[in-house]
Amino acid sequence: MQQEPYTISKGTQLEGFCMDLLSELAKKVGFKYRVQLVKDGAYGRQDDNGNWNGMIGEVMRGEADLAIAPLTLTAAREKVVGMTKPFMQTGISILLRKDISEETGFFDFLTPFTAETWVGILIAYLGTAACIFVVARLSPCEWSQPQSEHNRFSLLHSLWYTAGALTLQGAGPHPKALSGRVICCSWWLFTVILLACYFSNLGSSKSSESTHLMVKGFEDLANQDIIKYGCLSGSSTLAFFKNSNNPLYRRIYEHMERSKSFVSSMDEGVRRAKEGNFAFIGESVSLDLAVARHCELVRAHEVIGMRGYSIAAALGSPIIKNLSVSILQLNEAGELTYLQSKWWASSCIADKAKSSAVQPHSLKGMFLVLALGLGLGTLLAVLELTSKSRRSAAEQKKSCCTVLAGELNLRLRTSNANRTQENVDKDKEKA
């Protein structure tokens, strides 16, 4: 029966864990074999008339000598066919999507954006504040008399002004120059789009969390009615819950029977678990494979009903003893552990997992608009200062470059700010 990773079709050949195990057993016991897939695609289940289908039925009817698959060793099967020592131990567990099983953290308010996006926002904030500070000093429309006038946009005020706009609170005074206003408008546009994305993503994540419960085990699953759950139809897992005398397990079976939440295949169960709001109950080994293949899924820690996978042969067949001894030898030699690690290797890449956080590339247009606005504002400030320097150079009959260099030196000197503030303080004292 084809099921990853036990038996996989590759062209005209079959490969997988069971094929490798069969090859090793054939070497040890000394037999040749020909593999055929089960006709009805079932493991083996007894109907109301006492007839068996699937692999068990084919072995009973002599259509196959051996059945090698993840066949669970049960009392009902042991009565009608011979079964070897288990080659793999498993149990019953729960497969969930991670956002159903994980606890909420203290810093979940940061989840709407990725870490890279938050770093980009911080850089944008500091860059905008720095541009406002520089433009306010360069533009003669903003600071016309640097010798006697106090510049309203100090570095601290620029940071405060930018933070106020980011929180939609505002912080005056506002720039008077065109260059400063261009930068501020760019930052306001950036802020509006950023906050819209943040609250939209935060709202959707919180609304989804309101329907998600903490499910750590079967008791949590049975004590809620929001998340649907089910198992494979006609499987030994279903039989375990159906025949159990444990009140908790009986409740789970009755709920599944009442809601008809059974799935027809393992792939369907995994698919429904990935879609969310569904917990798939199955054998832990198979669930571990699903977790290794799909990053958004996780298996609950609780495992119940430990059982094993065995190889089936005709009742009373002498090969059963030899196969059981060979399985024990392979287990003691570590071969079974090696085969399991080979076929259960995780192909999950975390970066490909679905994430609700906004990625930096989805906001690149917003950052680009801001960068263009900052560049345009700074360019306008330089042009404003250049225009004033040309007029002053014409009046003073000096070189434009000389006047421009003098203006830049006067406006960008850090000591000038201190002298200006001292002059303002002295003027106030005289007044």
CATH assignment of the domain containing 131: 1.10.287
CA 339 – CA 17 distance, rounded (Å): 6
Helix axes 400-412, 364-396, angle to 10 degrees: 120
Could you tell me if residue 168 is inside a domain? yes
On whether 70 is known to bind a ligand per the annotation, the reply is yes
Could you tell me if residue 403 is inside a domain? yes
On whether 90 is known to bind a ligand per the annotation, the reply is no
CA 234 – CA 57 distance, rounded (Å): 14
Could you tell me if residue 198 is inside a domain? yes
Q: What pLDDT, on a 0 to 100 scale, did the predictor assign at position 312?
A: 92
Asked whether the beta carbons of 382 and 112 are under 8 A apart, the reply is no
Q: What pLDDT, on a 0 to 100 scale, did the predictor assign at position 254?
A: 92
> 177, 207, 237 — which closes off a domain?
207
Consecutive 10-residue runs of the chain (431 residues): their mean pLDDT? 83 88 92 88 84 90 91 88 91 85 64 86 93 87 76 85 84 83 91 88 59 72 88 87 92 92 90 90 89 87 89 91 94 91 71 49 83 91 83 77 75 54 50 47
What residues does 97 pair with on adjacent strands? 297
DSSP code of residue 350: G
Structure tokens at 425: 């303080």
On whether 271 is known to bind a ligand per the annotation, the reply is no
Could you tell me if residue 176 is inside a domain? yes
Spell out the residues 6+ positions from residue 370 whose beta carbon is closer than 8 angstroms to its own. 124, 128, 186, 187, 189, 190
Domain of residue 170, residue span? 108-207
Could you tell me if residue 102 is inside a domain? no
Could you tell me if residue 240 is inside a domain? no
Is the Cα torsion angle 258, 259, 260, 263 positive or negative in sign?
A: negative
Strands 228-231 and 8-10: unpaired
Could you tell me if residue 92 is inside a domain? no
Q: What radius of gyration, in Å, describes the C-alpha atoms of the chain? A: 36
CA 157 – CA 152 distance, rounded (Å): 8
Q: What pLDDT, on a 0 to 100 scale, did the predictor assign at position 347?
A: 64
- Total residue count of the chain as it appears in this document: 431
Tokens 């109950």 label which residue?
281
Whole-model pTM? 0.49
Spell out the residues 6+ positions from residue 236 whose beta carbon is closer than 8 angstroms to its own. 72, 74, 307
Name the burial class of residue 430, with classes exposed (0-12), middle (13-18) and buried (19+) by CB atoms within 10 angstroms of its CB.
exposed
Could you tell me if residue 335 is inside a domain? no
The total domain count for the chain is 2
On whether 378 is known to bind a ligand per the annotation, the reply is no
On whether 72 is known to bind a ligand per the annotation, the reply is yes
> 186, 207, 228 — which closes off a domain?
207
On whether 236 is known to bind a ligand per the annotation, the reply is yes
CA 131 – CA 361 distance, rounded (Å): 24
The helix or strand, by DSSP H or E, that contains position 422, with its residue range, turns out to be: helix 414-430
Q: What is the DSSP string of 47-58?
A: -TTS-B-HHHHH
Asked whether the beta carbons of 370 and 194 are under 8 A apart, the reply is no
Three-class DSSP category at 123: helix
Structure tokens at 62: 């002599």
